Structure 1
């Protein structure tokens, strides 16, 4: 269960307390929905695991989906900011390798959360799917920028590459094999080099 604030007086502001309660609920999303699935998880399940009251939950979120979408947005921003931050490397393929390593590392580090937002998202409705598509498109745009693609064929190759990465990571998550996520780096780099003609120069 997520860590609760101690009872009685503390020095946190009201906003800090609310932020702490949100984080506990986001952790509860990953744990509870990771076990029961999105559709079978109730608000009561979340507040029980997070250790917050029903009144507190509805002060923070309008619904289970609202909580899910807020957690998704936070995760999305964190991952995208990290993987698109000016990757080091001499060649485009090396820079892509750094980006890929960060992404796969995030997915393997916290499989329950990754599963929540890559698998259970399909049950969360059209808004969640739209958010997922936005995340994937930002990844595509980052890859296209690294390889400086201009042709329609190369832009499509970037899109297909990212879609393949997402599908492969999702399969590894469903199989419960985080090590398989990290093992994707070498074959994906080989595929990227062939698909985008990314030689050493």
Structure 2
């Protein structure tokens, strides 16, 4: 249930009130869209769940898609910032293992929201898909940096690896399999595709 800001004097600045309203809208979107899917969710559904006025919704977002895109970018930003906070020391495989563990852990922490943004993005239209590809390329860039991939072939291997991880995670969320259970198989696969740590 989305918490409503208490009415009356709450000693919050205008920015803090706006941030709280947005947070409620993001939570409401996740709750409603998890139950109904992207296509069957309306702005009315979201504002009813968030307990905000229609005017408040449109102060922050232009449409359902705008809210979805903002929520998606927000989640992905958290993911990317977290997985890139990997140790600078260690072999490339050790650093990649830390990044993979963080990523899978983040997805598993709130599988319902992760499922929402990783699966419903396909129903949200071409802009959402373009954004998904852009953010996935940031993930690729991080893997390229870790493995110091310089040749076209090495860069392609990194891109294919990220695509494989994304596909396997999406599949696990669809089938309710363990996301964190992918850690060892994906790490073994990475060693076969990229090569053992002492080769880099």
Match of 2:79 in 1: 79
Residue in structure 2 matched with residue 90 of structure 1 by the alignment:
90
Q: How many correspondences in the alignment?
A: 199
**Unpaired runs of at least 5, structure 1:** none
Give the C-alpha shift of residue 81 in structure 1: 1.0
Secondary structure of the residue that 1:2 maps to in structure 2?
Answer: coil
- Give 2:51's aligned residue: 51
Conserved 8 A contact 1:144-1:155: yes
Shift of 1:86: 3.7
Q: Is the deviation greater in 86-95 or in 162-171? A: 86-95
1:132 Cα deviation after fit: 0.5
Q: Is the aligned partner of 1:16 residue 2:13? A: no
Tell me the equivalent position of 1:107: 107
* Distance across 2 between alignment mates of 1:160 and 1:23: 35
Structure 1 position 88, deviation (Å):
4.9
Following TM superposition, by how much is the alpha carbon of 1:103 offset from its aligned partner in structure 2, in angstroms?
A: 0.5
Unaligned runs of 5+ residues in structure 2 are none
Could you tell me the TM-score, scaled by structure 2's length?
0.95
Distance 1:160 1:86 in 2: 21
CA deviations 1:16-71 (Å, max 9, x no partner) are 11111101111112111111110000001111111111111011111101111111
Q: Is the 8 A contact 2:97 2:187 kept in 1?
A: yes
Secondary structure in 2 matching 1:149 = coil
Cα drift, residue 200 of structure 1: 4.0
